[in-house]
Amino acid sequence: MSAVSDFLTHLPILAAGEPVAVPGTVLPVMEQFYTIQGEGFNTGRAAYFIRLGGCDVGCVWCDVKESWDADAHPRQAVAELVAAASEFAGRNVVITGGEPLMHNCLPLTKALQAAGFKTWIETSGAHPLSGNWDWICVSPKKFKAPLPEVLAHADELKIIVFNDSDFRWAEEHAALVPPTTRLYLQPEWSRAARMTPALIDYVKANPRWQVSLQTHKYLDIP
């Protein structure tokens, strides 16, 4: 068989007229809103949030389980998404989910940066890193381990504290990020009353860590 006929016989068969999207140019979008970043290093700063659908990590305490099924959310072209956000161009945009790194984030982040946005991501780190980011927040999960390549690029490591074992687990992951990465402990929302005293004691004894609270929930904003 010649090289050309070999190539032709292995081409995927596409239904006539079926559009073939380049990965990451069309994305499932759960919601978009302009608010105040509630958590971590950028707490208190205004930001436009884009919440992508789809997550396979399965945190039992996830506060946005409606995001998990990507097919439950309408798909939007990157151009449409950037047009919807354009009123806020020049400001900060947080790409979250769901797990945003289940998608190729390069087309979206390139287009947002071209429009003047600073691009920030909230990720568990469980999928390969894609996209051009101005700030990377990695919040690793026991339910699906973070990839070393994502931890290596973390500007911020945000550990959710559900029980006492999470402090040791936090230190194990702090050893895997660059020395400049900012370190945060954030109480799991439903356990905050029980775990926050231990978290405060931990930060007082280990001051390279800082407390992060989900301030948007106290402010009652999205």
Ligand X SMILES: Nc1nc2[nH]cc(C(=O)O)c2c(=O)[nH]1
User: Which residues of the chain form contacts with ligand X (CB under 6 A)?
Assistant: 35-39, 64, 96, 122, 216, 222
To the nearest whole angstrom, how small is the minimum distance from the Cβ of residue 18 to ligand SF4? 30
Pairwise CA distance, residues 78 & 55, whole Å: 19
Number of residues that bind ligand SAM (CB under 6 A): 18
The closest of 76, 51, 47, 85 to 66, measured between CA atoms, is 51
Check residue 179 and report its DSSP letter: T
- Smallest distance from ligand SF4 to CB 2, Å: 48
* 60, two tokens: 């039992």
Buried/exposed 152-173: b ≥16 CB within 10 Å, e otherwise: ebbbbbbbbbbeeebbebbeeb
Distance CA 77, CA 69 (A): 18
Contact characters 54-93, ligand SAM, x per CB under 6 A: -x-----xxxx-----------------------------
Using CB distances below 5 to 8 A depending on partner kind, what does residue 37 bind out of ligand SAM, ligand SF4, ligand X, none? ligand X
Does residue number 141 form part of the binding site for ligand SF4 (CB under 6 A)?
A: yes
Please indicate if the annotation marks 105 as binding a ligand: no
Report the C-alpha gap between 49 and 67 in whole angstroms: 14
Check residue 128 for interaction with ligand SF4 (CB under 6 A).
Answer: no
Residue ranges in contact with ligand SAM by CB under 6 A: 55, 61-64, 96-97, 99, 122-124, 139, 158, 160, 186, 188-189, 214
